């Protein structure tokens, strides 16, 4: 269903939308209701549903991270406020990781800040660089929390179409720039599409930002999740990019630490004061226990994710093969990253209805593409990160049957 359709529960103007009650600010009225709880409700109402919905991984953090928290709390300083930007040993470990893995030399032109997850890092960035009615360009389909953060800050999210295989369209991005534009956002590997942008495309966006005096916000939450020899590229590593590039990271997926709320951001030195003000007000300091866990996780490093990524690759192939069969009424653009496919369904139903019916009639949960402002009339996002292989295969079987029956 079109997000602007008054019957769409996500439409902020729909009187049935639970967010539309007295006292809510105009700014918040304009923010879409998060879709995950709606899908969660349908799922809870349909016992036995297999969820290919939420974007989390099935594995736990390294044991070392949990042990670090068991040791935490023995000194008084563990219980006091810490530095706004994060505990020094963690910040130093992140700087080493950024240099070794992302090619980003942090100081002196930029700095690292530990945040309560990648979402908070994005919000910090938006608050630091926008005034009300400023614009931020999001290639569509986009990660809905990015759009929500922009609207919440009183700025405007401007969509820029991507190609049919969800790659960046530089012309569409350039056409979306106006005098009010402050930043272009890229997410690679991408949520919701699984697309990984090649180095050339990210360099082109970064050069465009530099030429037009814009920030390039690049989200690398899924940096460890690429397949088939594809490697992600960090635009923060480009010579001369530090002054206009904001890079965002998360431990939620890489280390299976979603509930620990740990992320970090690399910001230009010119934004240090602004971001410090925001973080000091919203968070004061990142949670100390989680920072100790994060430091221990970083010492284990990316090898923690590697065996899981290999298993996810097997799932990725299985899903692509099953949904590419001639009699399954959908298009599956290839996806070399994250753990998502955004599938276009050949149906006269809208995305919300399709997602609801797949749950209620076929007991498999997906996320409707309309939540990501996917322009195709009917699409669903499939996540294969959260479940063991057997459950993914069973969910896939139900999905294939459901699409055949409903489309
Ligand atoms: C692109 C992207 N960025 C950020 C996040 C949120 O990460 P965190 O849990 O670190 O806030 C997600 C979560 O799904 C995501 O898909």
pLDDT of residue 407: 85
Per-residue pLDDT of the chain (407 residues; tens, 9 = 90+): 455 454 555 555 555 665 555 678 989 998 988 888 999 999 999 999 999 998 999 999 999 999 999 999 999 999 999 999 999 999 999 999 999 999 999 989 999 999 999 999 999 999 999 999 999 999 999 999 999 999 999 999 999 999 999 999 999 999 999 999 999 999 999 999 999 999 999 999 999 999 999 999 999 999 999 999 999 999 999 999 999 999 999 999 999 999 999 999 999 999 999 999 999 999 999 999 999 999 999 999 999 999 999 999 999 999 999 999 999 999 999 999 999 999 999 999 999 999 999 999 999 999 999 999 999 999 999 999 999 999 999 999 999 999 999 98
Q: How many helices (H) and strands (E) does the chain have?
A: 13, 13
- CA 407 / ligand 1 centre spacing (Å): 31
- Distance CA(182)–CA(212), nearest Å, equals 9
| Predicted local confidence at residue 103, as pLDDT | 98
CB distance 143 to ligand 1 below 6 Å = yes
Short-list 274, 239, 273, 268, CA closest to 109: 268
Q: Whose CA is closest to 156, among 165, 166, 164, 146?
A: 146
118 alpha carbon to ligand 1 midpoint, in Å?
A: 5
pTM for the full predicted model? 0.93
CA–CA distance, 402 with 133 (Å, rounded to integer): 43
pLDDT for the residue 350:
96
Cα separations in angstroms, 394 against 9, 11, 391: 29, 33, 5
Predicted local distance difference test score (pLDDT) of residue 394: 96
Beta bridge partners of 35: none
At residue 34, the pLDDT reads 84
- In whole angstroms, how far apart are CA 200 and each of 113, 212, 219, 252? 28, 18, 17, 28
Strand pairing partners for 157?
A: 136
Q: Whose CA is nearest to atom 16 of ligand 1?
A: 191
Residue 187 Cβ < 6 Å to ligand 1: yes
Ligand 1 centre to CA of 56 (Å) is 9
Please indicate whether residue 351, judged by its CB atom, sits closer than 6 Å to ligand 1: no
Q: What is the spatial distance between Cα 17 and Cα 3, in angstroms, rounded to a whole number?
A: 12
Q: From the CB of 114, is ligand 1 less than 6 Å away? A: no
How is residue 98 annotated by DSSP? I
Cα(136)–Cα(151) distance, rounded to whole angstroms?
A: 10
Ligand 1 binding pocket includes 194 (Cβ within 6 Å): no
pLDDT at site 1: 46
CB of residue 247 inside a 6 A radius of ligand 1? no
């Amino acid at each position: 269903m079109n997000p602007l359709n008054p019957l769409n529960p996500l439409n902020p103007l729909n009187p049935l939308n639970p967010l539309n009650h007295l006292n809510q600010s105009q700014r918040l009225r304009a923010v879409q209701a998060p879709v995950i709880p709606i899908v969660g409700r349908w799922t809870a109402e349909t016992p036995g549903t297999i969820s290919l919905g939420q974007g989390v991984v099935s594995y736990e953090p390294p044991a070392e991270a949990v042990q670090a928290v068991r040791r935490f709390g023995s000194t008084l300083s563990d219980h006091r406020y810490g530095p706004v930007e994060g505990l020094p040993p963690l910040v130093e470990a992140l700087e080493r990781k950024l240099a070794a893995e992302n090619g980003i030399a942090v100081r002196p032109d930029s700095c690292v800040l530990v945040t309560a997850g990648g979402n908070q890092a994005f919000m910090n960035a938006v608050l630091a660089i926008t005034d009300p009615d400023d614009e931020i360009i999001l290639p569509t389909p986009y990660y809905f929390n990015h759009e929500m953060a922009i609207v919440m800050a009183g700025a405007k999210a401007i969509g820029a179409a991507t190609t049919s295989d969800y790659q960046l369209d530089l012309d569409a991005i350039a056409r979306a720039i106006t005098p009010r534009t402050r930043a272009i956002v890229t997410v690679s590997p991408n949520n919701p599409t699984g697309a990984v942008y090649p180095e050339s495309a990210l360099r082109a966006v970064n050069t465009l930002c530099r030429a037009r005096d814009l920030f390039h916000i690049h989200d690398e939450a899924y940096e460890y999740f690429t397949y088939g020899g594809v490697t992600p590229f960090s635009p923060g590593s480009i010579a001369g990019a530090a002054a206009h590039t904001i890079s965002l990271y998360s431990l939620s997926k890489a280390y299976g630490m979603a509930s620990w709320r740990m992320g970090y951001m690399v910001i230009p030195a010119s934004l240090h004061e602004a971001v410090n003000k925001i973080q000091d007000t919203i968070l004061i300091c990142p949670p100390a226990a989680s920072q100790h866990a994060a430091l221990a996780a970083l010492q284990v490093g990316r090898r923690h994710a590697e065996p899981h990524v290999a298993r996810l690759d097997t799932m990725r192939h299985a899903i692509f093969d099953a949904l590419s069969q001639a009699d399954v009424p959908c298009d599956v653009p290839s996806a070399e990253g994250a753990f998502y496919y955004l599938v276009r369904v050949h149906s006269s139903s809208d995305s919300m209805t399709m997602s609801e019916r797949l749950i209620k009639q076929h007991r498999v949960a997906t996320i409707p593409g309309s939540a990501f402002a996917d322009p195709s009339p009917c699409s669903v996002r499939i996540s294969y990160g959260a479940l063991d292989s057997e459950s993914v295969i069973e969910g896939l079987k139900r999905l294939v049957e459901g699409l055949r029956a409903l489309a």
